[in-house]
Structure 1
């Protein structure tokens, strides 16, 4: 059946980018896993935090990463790109991270401080 990967994270935008963010997410719709995305129902303060949280099959991680990569390439009215962070943990007791910055998604090991989720603590 495949292994599950726990994914939790966010990407930061301006409120003016909400419509294009929603369009990107709709383009990559998945009947089950798209429900993991959460966008605040109304704007408040100055940053739009778009969150993802869910346990997804390992084979769907690339589906999610493609969305995050597309979101990472968006540019706001000031020419700024979004930033964000995602923590991924799996049933093999592995912890990795995606860092969203400068229009790219960088993959690497999760910071030691965030590996509690897979350490059995």
Structure 2
């Protein structure tokens, strides 16, 4: 049957980057786990947020990490130079919780801080 990983987190971007993110997530549409992506009902002020929350099979991890890696590479869309940023926690049933930081055009992976341990209990 395989192990599951609980993924929850968000991305921060501007309007042009959000359009690029939607293209990427649409290209990875699987009619199942892709339903974990969501946005606020209505945009508020200048930063756009995109959230992900789902329990996925371990075998689908590459499907998700390929997306956030591609999203991280989206260039700045204006002179302020802001890239897409975000944070995800992934709790594996067996190996525990990992933190994925989307910043500086990359995805940085590290063991999650012990203060997030309550999320996997």
TM-score normalised by L of structure 1: 0.91
Q: Kindly indicate whether residue 26 of structure 2 is the aligned counterpart of residue 26 of structure 1.
A: yes
Shift of 1:93: 5.3
Q: Which range moved further: 88-97 or 101-110?
A: 88-97
Select the residue among 79, 92, 103 that pairs with 2:94.
Answer: 92
Q: Where in structure 2 are the equivalents of 1:76-91 lying within 5 Å?
A: 76-78=77-79, 79-91=81-93
**Aligned equivalents of 2:2 and 2:69: distance in 1?**
24
CA contact (8 A) 1:97 1:109 kept: yes
Partner of 2:3: 3
Partner of 1:35: 35
CA contact (8 A) 1:12 1:82 kept: yes
Partner of 1:117: 119
CA deviation profile, 1:26-65 (whole Å, cap 9, x unmatched): 0111121000000234321111111100000001011100
Q: Kindly indicate whether residue 68 of structure 2 is the aligned counterpart of residue 71 of structure 1.
A: no
CA contact (8 A) 1:88 1:97 kept: yes
**Aligned equivalents of 2:19 and 2:93: distance in 1?**
35
CA contact (8 A) 1:37 1:50 kept: yes
TM-score normalised by L of structure 2: 0.91
Moved over 3 A (4+): none
Count of residue pairs the alignment pairs up: 119
CA contact (8 A) 2:85 2:102 kept: yes
Q: Where in structure 2 are the equivalents of 1:44-63 lying within 5 Å?
A: 44-63=44-63
